[in-house]
């Protein structure tokens, strides 16, 4: 595992979650509280990390594009659209993990990162 790369993924995911929850708070009625949840789960030979926000969710029509380079829903000058594509590369290509997305438009988004506890290249 490359700690700096994994940290970069978590920072990006948390930044996106904060942004989404804050944006919803700006548009919401009184009483909405922006909230983030971070969870970990031990799953056999893997570990899962969940990062969830109560932002507006990801629209279904763009869900299949969110890991593409330069894809962003942020206004011009607010994001490059590289965060999720780089995160995908780090988790899937470099660490043989996976990223799943659970989202409900208007309600929440959760990114679930699954990483192997060890890889075939680890020494005994």
Domain ranges for the chain, please list them.
3-116
Q: What is the DSSP letter of 41?
A: E
pLDDT of residue 120: 58
Instruction: Identify the H or E element spanning 22.
Output: helix 3-27
Reported confidence tier of residue 123, pLDDT bands at 50, 70, 90: very low
pLDDT of residue 66: 92
Instruction: Identify the H or E element spanning 50.
Output: strand 46-53
Q: CA-to-CA distance for 52 and 11, rounded, in angstroms?
A: 13
pLDDT of residue 78: 72
Q: CA-to-CA distance for 98 and 85, rounded, in angstroms?
A: 13
* pLDDT mean across residues, the chain: 90
pLDDT for 124 beyond 70: no
Stated pTM of the model: 0.87
Please list the residues that pair with 38 across neighbouring strands.
Answer: 51
Task: Give the model confidence (pLDDT) of 53-96 as tens digits.
Answer: 999 999 999 999 999 988 877 777 677 778 899 999 999 999 99
pLDDT of residue 29: 78
Task: Give the model confidence (pLDDT) of 12-40 as tens digits.
Answer: 999 999 999 999 999 987 889 999 999 99
Which CATH number fits the domain 3-116, given the four candidates 3.30.2230.10, 2.60.40.1180, 3.30.565.10, 3.40.50.10470?
3.30.565.10
pLDDT of residue 118: 81
């Amino acid at each position: 595992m490359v700690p700096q790369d994994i940290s970069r993924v978590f920072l990006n995911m948390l930044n996106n979650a904060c942004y989404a929850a804050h944006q919803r708070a700006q548009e919401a009625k009184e009483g909405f509280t922006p909230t983030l949840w971070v969870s970990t789960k031990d799953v056999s030979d893997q570990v899962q990390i969940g990062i969830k926000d109560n932002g507006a969710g990801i629209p279904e029509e763009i869900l299949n594009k969110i890991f593409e380079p330069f894809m962003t829903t942020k206004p011009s000058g607010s994001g490059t659209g590289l965060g999720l594509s780089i995160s995908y590369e780090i988790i899937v290509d470099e660490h043989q993990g996976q990223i799943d997305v659970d989202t409900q438009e208007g309600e929440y988004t959760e990114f679930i990162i699954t990483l192997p506890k060890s890889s075939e290249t680890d020494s005994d």
